[in-house]
Amino acid sequence: MSDLLELAARVEALAGPDWIIDAQIDLAHRPECGEEDAPPYTDSIDIAMTLVPSGLVCNFGNDTAFCWAHIWDDTPDYNGEPYEGHASTLPCAILAAALRAQAWEEG
């Protein structure tokens, strides 16, 4: 859990796409793949969205200073706060929120 939370914080600090972080994210999700096979998570909204846990809802946008993403469980019995990500790019904001949601699901 703490590894994913640390990775989320590192993603939020990025100024833009980063292939090293992409490789670290991929290693956390697909340990059998090599660094050269990592998808560009930090550069693609579509690829970042693949890390949003199944069954959760994602809402995202941008403000004047940063991009943001909120991920939550949209069922009537859910009363928690959304998992949030704030970053300089939309893919990174989505990734940070998705990694936090995954950390919570892992317990």
pLDDT at 66 over 60: yes
10 torsion bin: left (phi>0), alpha (psi -120 to 50), beta (else):
alpha
Tokens 């199944």 sit at which residue? 54
pTM for this prediction: 0.91
CA 102 – CA 65 distance, rounded (Å): 26
Q: What is the pLDDT of residues 13-65, one digit of tens each?
A: 999 999 999 999 999 988 887 667 899 999 999 999 999 999 999 999 998 88
CB proximity list for 66: less than 8 A, separation 6 or greater: 86, 87, 88, 93
